[in-house]
Amino acid sequence: MPDLLKTNVAIIGAGPAGLTAAYLLSKNEISVTVLEADPVYVGGISRTATYKGFHFDIGGHRFFSKSKEVNDLWNEILPQDMLDRPRSSR
């Protein structure tokens, strides 16, 4: 496994999956470069766009998982910014 730790990794896309992969790899001391086509935004399509003073949600703004590991990871990454909201739909 020592050779793996010397590997440089390129991740294409700075959406939630790419940024999560980069976070986990770098946390394990693996060198990571994230490549994103959009020169302004990261987060993939999870963002709000503004046009003529109106705001439009593009992609998902809610996160829901029944996986404790996934929820723990997001709470680790966003300890102050993660908002908990009760789920009202089924």
Q: How does pLDDT run across 7-31, given as a tens digit for each residue? A: 699 999 998 889 999 999 999 989 9
Q: How confident is the model at residue 61 (pLDDT cuts 50, 70, 90)?
A: low
Report whether 30 contacts 4 (CB < 8 A).
Answer: yes
Compute φ and ψ for 33, nearest 5 degrees.
-125, 125
CA torsion 47-70-23-33 (nearest 10°) is -60
CATH match of 2-77 with 3.40.50.720: yes
Write down the pTM of the prediction.
0.67
